[in-house]
Amino acid sequence: MRMVDLIEKKRNGFQLTKEEIQFIISGFTSGDIPDYQMSAFSMAVFFQGMTKEERVYLTEAMVQSGDQIDLSEIKGIKVDKHSTGGVGDTTTLVLAPLVASVGVPVAKMSGRGLGHTGGTIDKLESVEGFHVEISNEEFIRLVNQNHIAVIGQSANLTPADKKLYALRDVTATVDSIPLIASSIMSKKIAAGADAIVLDVKTGSGAFMKNLDDAKELAQTMVDIGNGVGRKTKAIISDMSQPLGFAVGNALEVKEAIDTLKGQGPEDLHELCLTLGSHMVVLAEKAANNEEARKMLEEVMHNGKALESFKAFLAAQGGDSSVVDNPEKLPTAPFTIEVPAKASGYVAEITAEVIGVAAMMLGAGRATKDSVIDLAVGVMLNKKVGDYVQAGESLVTIHSSQENVPEVIEKIYSAYRLDDTEIAKPTLIYTEIH
- For ligand URA, the closer of residues 265 and 355 by Cβ is 355
Residue at shortest CB range from ligand URA: 183
Residue 321 is among the residues annotated as catalytic for this protein? no
Q: How many of the chain's residues bind ligand URA (CB under 6 A)? A: 5
Residue 183 is among the residues annotated as catalytic for this protein? yes
244 binds, options Ca ion, ligand URA, none, Cβ within 5 to 8 A by partner type: Ca ion
Q: Of 187, 188, 293, 304, which residue is the catalytic one?
A: 187
Using rule CB under 5 A, residue 88 touches Ca ion:
yes
CB of 190 to ligand URA, least distance (A): 12
Q: Given candidates 134, 181, 246, 296, which one binds Ca ion under the rule CB under 5 A?
A: 246
- For ligand URA, the closer of residues 111 and 227 by Cβ is 111
CB of 346 to Ca ion, least distance (A): 16
HEC readout, the chain: CCHHHHHHHHHCCCCCCHHHHHHHHHHHHHCCCCHHHHHHHHHHHHHHCCCHHHHHHHHHHHHCCCCCCCCCCCCCCCEEEEECCCCCCCHHHHHHHHHHCCCCCEEEEECCCCECCCCHHHHHCCCCCCCCCCCHHHHHHHHHHHCEEEEECCCCCCHHHHHHHHHHHCCCCCCCHHHHHHHHHHHHHHCCCCEEEEEEEECCCCCECCHHHHHHHHHHHHHHHHHCCCEEEEEEEECCCCCCCEECHHHHHHHHHHHHCCCCCHHHHHHHHHHHHHHHHHCCCCCCHHHHHHHHHHHHHCCHHHHHHHHHHHHCCCCHHHHCCHHHCCCCCEEEEEECCCCEEEEEECHHHHHHHHHHHCCCECCCCCCCCCCCEEEECCCCCCEECCCCEEEEEEECCCCCHHHHHHHHHHEEEECCCCCCCCCEEEEEC
Residue 285 is among the residues annotated as catalytic for this protein? no
Using rule CB under 5 A, residue 90 touches Ca ion:
yes
Query: Quick check: 416 and 348 in contact, CB under 8 A?
Result: yes
- For Ca ion, the closer of residues 127 and 246 by Cβ is 246
Using rule CB under 5 A, residue 244 touches Ca ion:
yes
- For ligand URA, the closer of residues 200 and 414 by Cβ is 200
Q: Of 82, 230, 231, 382, which residue is the catalytic one?
A: 82
Contacting residues for 72 by C-beta, under 8 A, at least 6 apart: none
| Binders of ligand URA in range 161-190 (CB under 6 A) | 165, 179-180, 183-184
Using rule CB under 6 A, residue 92 touches ligand URA:
no
d(CA 390, CA 411): 16
- For Ca ion, the closer of residues 90 and 101 by Cβ is 90
Residue 204: phi, psi to the nearest 5?
-60, -30
CB of 402 to Ca ion, least distance (A): 25
246 binds, options ligand URA, Ca ion, none, Cβ within 5 to 8 A by partner type: Ca ion
d(CA 291, CA 25): 43
CB of 64 to ligand URA, least distance (A): 18
CB of 199 to Ca ion, least distance (A): 13
CB of 172 to ligand URA, least distance (A): 13
Region from 185-193, 240-248, 282-290, 353-361 binding Ca ion, contact rule CB under 5 A: 240-248
165 binds, options Ca ion, ligand URA, none, Cβ within 5 to 8 A by partner type: ligand URA
Residue 82 is among the residues annotated as catalytic for this protein? yes
Residue 83 is among the residues annotated as catalytic for this protein? no
| Binders of ligand URA in range 230-289 (CB under 6 A) | none
- For ligand URA, the closer of residues 59 and 316 by Cβ is 59
Interface residues with ligand URA (CB under 6 A) are 165, 179-180, 183-184
Residues at the contact surface with Ca ion, assessed by CB under 5 A: 88, 90, 244, 246
Known catalytic residues?
A: 82, 161, 168, 183, 187
